[in-house]
Chain A
Amino acid sequence: MSCHFEEDLTAYVDGELPAARREQVASHLGGCTGCRATEALLRHTVARVAELPDFVPSVDTRRAVLAKLDALPMPWWERLRTLLRPAVLVPSAGLAVAVGLALVVVGPGPEAPEELEDPAVMELAANLELVEDYELLGLDSPEDLEVVASLHELEVAQ
């Protein structure tokens, strides 16, 4: 199979050669037994491959793909477009205006307890659960709290 036409034989069998080259190969085949044998082998192979059974994908594939699309995160421009829809934008703007007006009109008022303006109190309120734990353990002095905060260092020292 060293004939220089051999490389073109599969394309010839597949009908993929330009007309001029096809003519050349066809006339060559008349006089070259080696290429004729290869051409027959290739035609036989193509015919056998066409007999192979088809792969039939599962009907669940469609459902799986659509579920994966549903699980995709929405791109930022899509989220922005969703937020800028009049159906969302108008009620949101209206609500924001109403809340703003209410804060201006009502405000904290003179009767509001002073502690609520202290950031430390707000911090305490946010960590009430932790404070309760300390009280439960009887850890109320600053020294006790210092020991608790440095427990990991004691463990390393041991």
Chain B
Amino acid sequence: MCARGVRHGETVSTEARAVQRDGVRNFLRVTGLKSTVDVDSDAQAMLKVAAGDRRAFAWLFDRYHASVARFAFRFVGDRERAEELTQDIFVKLYRNAKAYQPTARFKTFLFRVATNHCLNEVRRGEYRVAHTSTEAPDGEETGGVEMAGPDGDRPDQALAGRELEQAVGDALRDMSDRERAAFTMCRFEGMAYRDIAEALEASESAVKSLIHRATLAVARRIEELQAGTVPARSRA
């Protein structure tokens, strides 16, 4: 399992969390599913979506949209585009719900849809990988990301955080699409290599190589940052 496991609902805002909580509670009450949310309940919900059940769709959306948005954001490096992509991915999921087979884990299925959609959009040229737009040109924050932890409020720490974000963003931009997809699923979603391989329709061995190369690329950028050799235009 990759190092950063992200629990559902861990990163969403208070308002979004409230919507999510209500959605889950209502869905469980109406459908009679077990209150312990597990992999099977995802599959059951998806089968209901295939039968046209909007409540089941809303429940899955509340459960996974933060993950998909996070993936899309790291993939294209732009907040607005990430949100558009997230919307498109969930609409695509709804329209193609009948294609889902409960033999596949829902999250893997979802990330295959998400990866294909993001790859297609980037290849089509509509979305160029930016990774520079989390901040406005004058350095004013756009609110695209939030610094985690109380230390983020200290100016020196905030600057270090922005520089780290920039260094990782630069590395992501220079990676191949598949390296970026594999790295993002591993480091930001905590997905296992096996699941990433399924989402990317690749072998585990190929995923191991993709993640290794991508992690080394990020390591080099961070080393440059720490050595103070990052080009001036790339620094916050």
Contacts and interface: CB of A to CB of B under 8 A. Distances in A.
Interface of A: 7-11, 13-16, 41-42, 44-59, 61-62, 64-66, 68-69, 72, 78
Contacts of B94: 69, 72
Interface string B8-24: 00011101100100000
A66 B23 CA distance: 14
A57 B16 contact: yes
Nearest to B17: A59
Given A11-B211, A16-B1, A65-B61, A55 B87 contact: no
B145 A55 contact: yes
A76 to B, nearest CB: 14
B3 A65 contact: no
What is the interface of chain A mostly: helix, strand, loop, or mixed? helix
A93 B82 CA distance: 50
A7 B152 contact: no
B146 interface: yes
A133 B85 CA distance: 53
A52 B145 CA distance: 9
B161 A51 contact: yes
Contact of B222 (A45, A50, A53, A62): A45
Nearest to B74: A55
B70 A9 contact: no
Contact of B215 (A45, A57, A61, A62): A45
Contacts of B192: 16
B218 A56 contact: no
A52 B87 contact: no
Interface in B188-222: 188, 192-193, 208-209, 211-212, 215-216, 218-219, 222
A9 B79 CA distance: 33
12 contacts: A7-B209, A8-B208, A46-B215, A49-B187, A52-B145, A53-B148, A56-B13, A57-B82, A65-B87, A69-B57, A69-B91, A69-B94
A55 B82 contact: yes
A30 to B, nearest CB: 21
Contact of B193 (A16, A50, A64, A65): A16
